[in-house]
Amino acid sequence: MLNLQFPSRVKLVEVGPRDGLQNEKQQVPAAIKIELVQRLQAAGLKEIEVTSFVSPKWVPQMADNAEVMAGIQRKAGVRYSVLTPNQQGFEAALLSQPDEIVVFGAASEAFSQKNINCSIAESIERFAPVVAAARGAGIYVRGAMSCAVGCPYEGDVAPERVGYLAGLMKGIGVQHVGVADTIGVGTPLKVQRAVEATLKHFDIDDVSGHFHDTYGQALANTLICLQLGVWQFDTSVAGLGGCPYAKGATGNVATEDVVYLLHGMGIETGIDLDRLIDAGQFISDFLGRSTNARAGKALFNKRQA
């Protein structure tokens, strides 16, 4: 039977500064990234994925990771996370004192190879000492599970592959996992199966959704997750984003659109939608294009009229 019980409160992890900007061709100065983080926290975002400590040869846009982390003015109650693919990235990240790190693996072998240059099994071997060191230092560890419904190289990804990866992540001490539709091909029942496979290894409170919106399904996928009891989602202001190793994939679902959906359903987020729209406008103006947030755009136009 259709579950119409929804969480009363949802936590959004803003990934715009990292997932959003990593794929931008034009170099975005550190000062702009810092200003964006400032505006996002002023809008009430309580968790911000700021940057990634990956190879600057692979992802040049994130080469200013330490500068951005040093430049942000930390606000009490806000948690700042960064991506760390290996020990080298973790050691560099440690100097920036993140509250949380993200190890990122994939449910498909081909994507693992293209994105982080190793197999799924090798990635787990690389993550294990990073997870242990982070937890030893009191840093929370999140795991991202890419291609949880579809892969740009392998096509459909079976839920069993997601369950397998979730089990491996749990086994090395990862505390929370994100079910990621990297290329935005998922539809609600496929996403449901990927989430259910994950729930065999992680509690509902330790699972989040990360939906790219390439095929316009991200809000529907978010809604079915809410019905399953998932209450944490990664979203990106102005719908920025894409992965350099997932050609054709567009941005994450826009934070503005998810906030509009949630507030419209009476679900609390602690986010001021007006200020969030301003943050989205700020980065869209810098990038010289109009926002990908549908609700953001509609509300902005209404405000102008």
Phi first, then psi, for residue 208 (nearest 5°) are -130, 165
Note whether 108 and 152 are within 8 A (CB): no
Of residues 64 and 234, the one with the C-beta less far from Mg ion: 234
Of residues 150 and 300, the one with the C-beta less far from Mg ion: 150
Smallest gap from residue 8 Cβ to ligand HMG (A): 27
202 makes contact, choosing from Mg ion, ligand HMG, none, with CB < 5 to 8 Å by partner type, with: none
The type of residue at 141 is V
User: Look-up: residue for tokens 């409170």?
Assistant: 205
- Judged by CB under 5 A, does residue 19 bind Mg ion? yes
Of residues 19 and 100, the one with the C-beta less far from Mg ion: 19
115 makes contact, choosing from ligand HMG, Mg ion, none, with CB < 5 to 8 Å by partner type, with: ligand HMG
- Return the structure tokens found at 271: 């986010």
Taking the alpha carbons at both ends of the chain, their separation in whole angstroms is 44
Using DSSP, state whether 231 is helix, strand or coil.
coil
How many C-beta atoms lie closer than 10 Å to residue 293's C-beta?
Answer: 30
Task: Using CB atoms within 10 Å of the CB of residue 88, give its burial: 0 to 12 exposed, 13 to 18 middle, 19+ buried.
Answer: middle
- Judged by CB under 5 A, does residue 213 bind Mg ion? no
Task: Give the footprint of ligand HMG on this chain (CB under 6 A).
Answer: 19, 22, 52-55, 58-59, 83, 85-86, 88-89, 104, 115-117, 144, 146, 180, 182, 210, 212, 243, 245
Residue closest to 97 by CA, chosen among 158, 138, 131: 138
| Stretch of residues binding Mg ion (CB under 5 A), selected from 12-20, 107-115, 167-175, 275-283 | 12-20
Smallest gap from residue 234 Cβ to ligand HMG (A): 7
Phi first, then psi, for residue 120 (nearest 5°) are -60, -45
Applying CB under 5 A, what is the total number of residues that bind Mg ion? Answer: 1
**Quick check: is 151 catalytic?**
no
Smallest gap from residue 243 Cβ to Mg ion (A): 6
| Alpha carbon distance 21, 9 (integer Å) | 28
CA 99 vs. chain centroid, Å, equals 15
Smallest gap from residue 239 Cβ to Mg ion (A): 12
Smallest gap from residue 218 Cβ to Mg ion (A): 11
28 makes contact, choosing from Mg ion, ligand HMG, none, with CB < 5 to 8 Å by partner type, with: none
**Alpha-helix runs per DSSP H in 172-291:** 188-198, 218-228, 255-264, 273-287
Of residues 212 and 300, the one with the C-beta less far from Mg ion: 212
Contact positions toward Mg ion, by CB under 5 A? 19
Annotated catalytic residues are 243
